[in-house]
Structure 1
């Protein structure tokens, strides 16, 4: 989405991508309430400094990058930035609770919560938002090869974690294949 469509204000474009920005901010800080607060501060700064937006840049890439830079700036202001990046598992897990009945894999959510923030964000940008490696690199201010390397490390770590899991019992697998009413029918 290009902001050129919005003439004098980025506000309509930012409103259009607000749910995506909210999800990104939530993943940055690991909780909904803290993500909402970060997003509010970052949006205020973006609107106040919208002259910094360069026409021709994808608005979503720019906005994600601005939120990330705002988070880094706030993180650097803390006495113990490493402690600030640790995710509270309960708050982080709430980000994944589905609105409707869906499969929820707690060990995978735990795995994601234990990833460093930059790796979590790389996953979200590439697989959640569909950014290519170049755009994800622009947002996170790294080379596209770094994005690719992070994804390889994450995939390897996830494969190790999944291979250590006990296999699901056959009955549990069958129960997921058939609706409640079909079991026991001739």
Structure 2
């Protein structure tokens, strides 16, 4: 921080009671007002080089305070009041690291499929081609593509130990923990 002219520092300190009164009128809370004034002073001293001597110092300080209050007000409008933490306690997320591991398991299993089944599955499942379009690309009958895709899906399910829809998403342990937290 650059050296502040002692008279300018004294003028800033002299403005504190008026800043505090203004902050109380804006926030309606003495504690919040004190925080606003403190942040105003920190910003004023951090940006003292932008103050032009000979201009209205209190107006500059009040502008900083007002802008701080408005910024925080806009930010708080988007926040959910949760002082007791009840809402936060209901929020859960799945761990990120399992997604990478699941994808790696899928990639390994996909590589174990015969090439004709892998090709059909990628064309229909990942690339979004219809069975007819995939059959045209592979130069075979539509029934052949349907059969290859069906066998590929079944084999992938076996390789990945997928028994049903419940095997998608969080694992059984994670689901049990999440259910216990909600109860």
| TM-score where L is the length of structure 1 | 0.37
